[in-house]
Amino acid sequence: MTRDTPHDGPPPPALEAIGLSKHYGSGAGRFDALSDVSLSIQAGECVAIVGKSGSGKSTLMHLLAVLDEPSQGQVRIHGTDARSLSARALNRVRNREFGFVFQQFFLNAQQSVLENVTLPLTIAGVRRAARRARALEVLGSLDLAEKATAKAVTLSGGQKQRSVIARALAGDPSVIFADEPTGNLDSQTGAIVEEMLFALNREKGITLVIVTHDDELAARCDRQVVLRDGRIISDSAAAVLEEATR
């Protein structure tokens, strides 16, 4: 991905939110889901976004992932203002640069695992043979090769979420966004899925942004950003920085 300006210093953050706000409705019915949130996430970080239900976690994640547009503020992806990207370029970012692992799976139940996993590549315009090869490779790496032709509806919860991870990995993303990734899983299966996500961060350097209300999961991340009523009330990275410069 190209940047706005040539750059000799350290690489720009993988993701930046600058003064992000999001409101729903208008007038007396206006609701501020997110207010003036600024945040930088470096490439390779593993960040938990935590807070009570309704605090704006999913809203922030959707904005960072350019799945939704802010009411105010901007999102920068590897230094590039998302607003400067064409629809086609945004499509490519969402399908190749980013991977998504959401609580509700969002698998097409009647399609095969293989078809589900190739979907982002299909959208990104990758040729059939290449996307099939890539999907089989990823499914193999997650021990799901034998499920490639099974309909998604026949899978267990854990197999579904592993298929979702395979789909997230199909485009070889630099960032994975996970929204309550273990919320629909029993604790043992959830632990396996968590381990897979952390391994991707550790071993492949994939930036991980995990929305969770699970304190244990959050504590395993490098950094915890806490939201309340649509605002950041604490950020462990900022606390560390403050400590270092005191």
> Residue numbers of the site for ligand ADP (CB under 6 A)?
24, 31, 33, 51, 53-59
Shortest separation between residue 215's beta carbon and Mg ion, angstroms: 16
DSSP helix/strand/coil, 143:
coil
How many chain residues interact with Mg ion (CB under 5 A)?
Answer: 2
CB atoms within 10 A of CB 234: 13
| Residue 112 contacts Mg ion per CB under 5 A | no
Query: What part of residues 171-230 is at the interface with Mg ion (CB under 5 A)?
Result: none
Angle between helices 113-123 and 157-170 (to 10 degrees): 30
Contacted entry of ligand ADP, Mg ion, none for residue 147, CB cut-off 5 to 8 Å set by kind: none
53 makes contact, choosing from ligand ADP, Mg ion, none, with CB < 5 to 8 Å by partner type, with ligand ADP
* C-beta closer to ligand ADP: residue 60 or 193: 60
- Long-range Cβ contact pairs of 79-83 (< 8 A, separation 24 or more): 79/3, 79/4, 79/5, 79/7, 79/11, 79/12, 79/13, 79/16, 80/1, 80/2, 80/3, 80/4, 81/4
Q: Which residue, 50 or 113, is less far from Mg ion as judged by CB?
A: 50
Q: Which partner from the list Mg ion, ligand ADP, none does 55 bind, CB cut-off 5 to 8 Å by kind?
A: ligand ADP
Considering the complex, state which of residue 68 and residue 195 has its C-beta at the smaller distance from ligand ADP.
Answer: 68
In angstroms, give the least distance from the CB of 213 to ligand ADP: 8
| SS3 at position 8 | coil
Residues 21, 35, 55, 58: which binds Mg ion (CB under 5 A)? 58
The partner in contact with residue 86, picked from Mg ion, ligand ADP, none with C-beta cut-offs of 5 to 8 angstroms by kind, is: none
> Which of ligand ADP, Mg ion, none does residue 70 bind (CB under 5 to 8 Å by kind)?
none
Question: Residue 68 CB, nearest distance to ligand ADP (Å)?
Answer: 9
CA dist list (Å): 167 to 131, 134, 212: 11, 10, 21
Q: What is the rounded CA–CA span in Å between residue 12 and residue 3?
A: 9
Exposure of 186 by Cβ count < 10 A (0-12 exposed, 13-18 middle, 19+ buried)?
A: exposed
CA distance 102 to 160: 11
Pick one of ligand ADP, Mg ion, none as the site partner of residue 106 (Cβ within 5 to 8 A by kind): none
Q: Give the nearest distance from C-beta 240 to ligand ADP in angstroms.
A: 24
As measured in angstroms, the least distance from the Cβ of 54 to ligand ADP is: 4
Report yes or no: 186 and 156 within 8 Å, Cβ to Cβ: no
- Which residue's CB is nearer to ligand ADP, number 55 or number 161? 55
